Structure 1
Amino acid sequence: MTDQPVRPDVRGLLDQMAAANSPRAVDVSLEQARGMMHASRSLLDAPTGPLAVLRDVDNGPCPLRLFDVRAERGPGPVLVFFHGGGFVLGDIDTHEPLCAEIARLLDLPVVSVGYRLAPEHPFPAGVSDAIAAARWVAGSPAELGREATGLILAGDSAGGNFTIVTALALRDEPAAVPVLAQWPMYPAANPTQFYPSMDAYGEGFLLSRESMDWFSSCYAPDPKDWRYDPLHQDQRGMPPTLVVTAGLDPIRDQGRAYAAACAAAGVDTIYLECPETIHGFFSLRKALPSSQADLERCAAHLRVMLKGAKE
């Protein structure tokens, strides 16, 4: 474990988990690992909170859930969210509190995507669902009840990977409306490359190297396919990009590298590194109250970014 400074609430959570000797996903069965992530929502994340609309959406290419602070809304941007969980864990329910808070902070409709999970559905099933869902939302289907004039793509961890890959897919084969911005949160942006943050934070900071190896073995990706490693692609022509990383994250440097590649390609890029915190902190806001300010700061930057985007 590094001697780098750690936020008090982060230190408290890490110490509590170490004392409890809590099992990791890799230490239990797949069913138990998924159950642990569901249980962590009530233990570690903030409540969903009030919304005018919170409902599942029918007839999409995969399960979808709509979040909106307004019961009715005119034409405008729609945020499409891809949850994290290593391509293996997580779903619309585990990330409901985060999607609800994003909807409130941005005053935008949020559509959360329940893509297929590995190992039952290995690469590229999940990312294919992500791309199909974004295209479906862009077409403003009646089931959504919201007319999309543009998309914001967002997601955390594995969902950050899907965010970037979907933005690339829609850059190369545009959907019915443009992608106005992308917001990859602590993304698995360059998973085939080794970076020093893996050695620095690969044990003792919630997300472990061993767990990531297990996720990869379940997902069974083709390491040469850009739909797994989006830094295989040129980033020119990508939408305005907000990349967020955690300072104590084993995949932090992947996010840094992706932000740098976007900037080098001439993409309007904002890079925010949230210091002294761990991977997944946006979904730990009950255990880590400091994460709320981080999320609000990101939303403020994204609002400014969207203000200049064409709708």
Structure 2
Amino acid sequence: MSANEPFVRADMQAFLDMLAAMDGPPLADVTLEEARGAYLALHAMADAPARELAIIKDLTCPGPAGDIPLRLYDARDTREAGPIITFYHGGGFVIGDLNTHHNLCTEIAAQMDLPVVAVDYRLAPEAPFPAAIEDCEAATRWIASGPAELGREVSSLVLIGDSAGGNASIVVSQALAAKPAAVPVALQVPIFPLASDAIGSASMEEFSDGFVLTKASIEFFELHYQPDKSDRRAIPTLAIHQNTPPTLVVTASLDPIRDSGRDYAAAIAAAGVDHTFIEVKGVTHSFANLRKAVPGAQGDLERIFAQMKFMLESAS
């Protein structure tokens, strides 16, 4: 590695070499159905197996355009009142669903020993911006209300998501800061989030191709999602709310949208928000869903969980 080349961890490089050898078509060259199937297949191949849990249960809640599918995960059959983790999946608001992130959600529930509710929001282009965000906010408010269907008494919320879901975690947190839900947000955890406009950033140019998420893929997602970049629901760094909850921002050093996550961390730091910033070195976007193919990602994820536990304990 020359001084000008980015550090790539050995386990990550092995996975990148495997992807390059597969030489799959770019997203823009396949149908939406094929793109969604490929995303599911990638995680099925690359992520660690799902954990066995006491409860894995599909639910629905009312949404602005009909019922929103949800999935409840819990390592315990019953528990006392406490926080509930609300999870928003990645996929550029175009691909991804409850199944693409199922294994990761079981891991979060097992490691955090807290209930997790995953939100299956509407996708673009069938439902462009801001439909996904509207669903995520509606589902989160429903969860906060402690509905009987959950079988759990909710004391606070932990909002977490990866990539597009990281954007959703920030934007829903802002909505709940402006108009509180039935219980407070104790912690938000945007993982490699899209928080500022990544187009034109240094990381976008440096990691435009060959690092899992590509510039072409991001352009594909934007084409379908149609975000209004003057709206904080698309670009949450436009308006940092004074009541932003404690925040753990996680980025990946080889990610084209790395600088977007850095921008958000800098913005909340400037606003005086209680926060921690972790940049995982030598890994790409989506590392949290690559734990079988990239074994070190398990330890990276456990480091995130340890910090989440510390921050939740500090707040209680």
Work out whether the TM-score is over 0.5. yes
Please point out which of 65, 81, 98 is paired with 1:92. Answer: 98
Q: Please list, as runs of the form range in 1=range in 2, the aligned pairs for 1:255-294 lying within 5 A after superposition.
A: 255-294=261-300
Aligned to 1:146: 152
- Once the two structures are TM-superposed, the CA of residue 191 in structure 1 deviates from its matched residue by 2.3
Structure 2 equivalent of residue 214 of structure 1: 220
TM-score (norm 2): 0.96
- Measured on the aligned residues, the alpha-carbon RMSD in Å equals 1.3
The match for 2:10 is 8
Shift of the alpha carbon at 1:105?
1.1
Which whole-Å deviations, capped at 9, do the CAs of 1:46-93 have from their partners, x for residues lacking one? 111211111101444310000110011111100000000001000011
Q: 1:201 aligns with which of 198, 204, 207?
A: 207
1:97-112 aligned within 5 A: 97-112=103-118
2:59 paired with 1:57: yes
Instruction: Report the 3-state secondary structure (helix = DSSP H, G, I; strand = E; otherwise coil) of the residue aligned with 2:149.
Output: coil
Q: How does 1:130-209 map to 2 (within 5 A)?
A: 130-191=136-197, 194-209=200-215
* Identity of matched residues, %: 50
Equivalent residue runs for 1:231-310 within 5 Å = 231-310=237-316
Contact 1:154–1:184 (CA<8 Å) still a contact in 2? yes
SS at match of 2:315: coil
2:50 counterpart residue number: 48
Q: Number of matched residues?
A: 310
The corresponding residue for 1:39 is 41
**Structure 1 alignment gaps of length 5 or more:** none
Query: Conserved in 2, the CA contact under 8 Å of 1:59 and 1:143?
Result: no
Q: Does 1:82 align with 2:88?
A: yes
Deviation per residue, 1:149-196 (Å, 9 max, x gap): 100000000000000000000000000000000000000011266321
Distance 1:239 1:146 in 2: 23
How far off its partner does 1:309 sit? 1.9
Provide runs of 4+ in structure 1 moved above 4 Å.
none
Return the TM-score normalized by structure 1: 0.97
Deviation at 1:26?
2.1
Distance in 2 between the 1:91 and 1:64 partners? 10
Name the stretch that deviates more: 69-78 or 16-25. 16-25
